Structure 1
């Protein structure tokens, strides 16, 4: 939001107004970029208004609503993740490998933030000395994902147990038929587990498999503490680690928890005051 603060400072404006936000958003090159500018500046206005009512909050959606709105993430606790993994060991299957597959798959997603499609596309030889080689990432991009020693040890134990599956292919994670489960099958198993544990109602929204990725991202940012500069430095590395093409997708995680929201509020206030001084 430094650009918005500079825009206001050039006009000697000390308080956010709806007109100022619309003028700044209107300078974007495309309608989508204008909506994105408006949404970011409006979020800043909300935080500033909480401290000083003279800051105006423009009506939501003045430039139209975003075409795609992300569902709110469900950030899981470490205890919840552990219970999900333990419950996965009770998943019935044609062979003993099924529960081990789901147990290790959910553990890998939680400890690396991989997309489910990336994890299910892994081959046995993608586990290298340097980490996991993601060859079929989103948008066709490949990347190397370093992993913790405990994660490597768990995967190596799983590979040993995987030998019980006859005619297993090259997929890292397999079921009794020797191939990786489908993403749909993984979704079904995960939802059944979280409903059984009471983390999700019988009907309605709740934790999804993708929330393991969200949780990894948010917890890694929270580990930076209340140092905004440390978070910003970590943001670029996290964006690369997660395989984001646009770092703006990584910044979205800052809105996921009260801890990070409070940091945004403090940083926004400092940015605005510094830019308008």
Structure 2
């Protein structure tokens, strides 16, 4: 056999092998899923990016024994997987995300927790179908402003970073229901966060907050007086309002700030 024909046959065989590994996973409502694990994580096989029908891609080591094999770079060819709706890339060694991620217009969930990310490409703001974004345990020092363009985002986890401020543009996340910001360095919250009337869960524990915005009581769905898991302030040096007022819910917070205005 001619060498060129031989190598062509090897590649064709390898492509076929990856196609056989694609499964219809009932956990994902029968979507076409591929899980990459072990040594393949170190350098993603190029054949994966030929699987254009792929809808779910898992590229995350699951066990401690697999942590020696972690991805350091997302190839630009990720843009070829136009049908991806769920993309899992937790617990790798990623320091940056390629701009091509913005071409995955059907993406609904993106998980990037437990990496070494400091920033995100501005193109991530193009993911208008994104519903759930996981960025916990990275190295962010601010909430990336391009996230404020994701108007359909309902779940955002930025816990365990070094975030010191939240941009006023967070008010544009009008679909946001859950915002997790535990274990950061927040010293204040913008008043615009109180425009998020769909917010049901807001975790702010273990930050540096001394006060809340005067209109915080407008977040009426955050009734942690009855549902403690709805809102979390533990580990903050709050004095305006004090913790005992916060624990009683939004009505008491509104009354607290109203009383300050009357004084």
User: TM-score, normalised to structure 2's length?
Assistant: 0.27
Higher relative contact order (CA 8 A, sep 6+): 1
